[in-house]
Amino acid sequence: MPKEKFDILESTCIPLPIENIDTDQIIPARFLSLTSREGFGEYLFRDWRFDKSGNKIEDCVFNNPRYSGRILVTGKNFGSGSSREHAVWAIAGYGFRAVVSSFFADIFRNNCLNNGILPVVVKEDYLQNLLKTIRDNPSTMARIDLDKQLFTVLPDGEGISFEINPYKKECLLNGLDDIDYLLSIQDAIKAYELRKTLGK
């Protein structure tokens, strides 16, 4: 089913300079009981944003009015741990469209791509500089051009290129989804099953 297309994104960024953030932080397990895809945004990083009594934790970056935007910039090995896609639904529900890091956990990266969220991998030293730039100047704008595979800090940063699987890039650019593709090759799947039962 068609999803929102991803072409060019220009936005300010939210910096989260912590490594190895796991999906239990992104969305704690006790919020996994919903049976729809909607409504997870408010639970994003719930235990980092709010204390036990539900009060805002002031020094959490998400509660700092200086920072906003649709791009999350975060430390190495983001999204490790549980395969829960709820983590990506929470990120999308909160309003993000892209996550920038020097390294992503595998399942999380797949889950992002399946939900129209672009994971952008940059080198570690670039990431550290970027985090500093955003923290020094929270109104820093960044531009992600998916077609050209370029990430640029505006207005005059040098664009750096990032990798993405060509098939996944096509899917994001056109808002297509894997299930449409798989359904379209059902005959090939049936032929495979037949080959297998015949013992080839």
By the criterion CB under 8 A, which residues form the site for another protein?
Answer: 1, 17-20, 22, 24-25, 28-30, 32-37, 47, 52, 75-77, 80-86, 88, 103, 105-107, 110-111, 114-115, 124, 128, 165-168, 177-179, 181-183, 185-186, 188-189, 192-193, 196
Q: Which is nearer to another protein, 128 or 152 (CB)?
A: 128
Beta bridge partners of 100: 73, 120
Q: Shortest gap between Cβ of 68 and another protein (angstroms)?
A: 23
Q: Which is nearer to another protein, 1 or 65 (CB)?
A: 1
Q: Shortest gap between Cβ of 155 and another protein (angstroms)?
A: 28
How far is Cα 178 from Cα 182, in angstroms, rounded to an integer? Answer: 6
Q: Which is nearer to another protein, 110 or 133 (CB)?
A: 110
Q: Which is nearer to another protein, 139 or 165 (CB)?
A: 165
How far is Cα 123 from Cα 189, in angstroms, rounded to an integer? Answer: 39
How far is Cα 100 from Cα 105, in angstroms, rounded to an integer? Answer: 13
Query: Helix/strand/coil (H, E, C) string of 155-189?
Result: CCCCCEECCCCHHHHHHHHHCCCHHHHHHHCHHHH
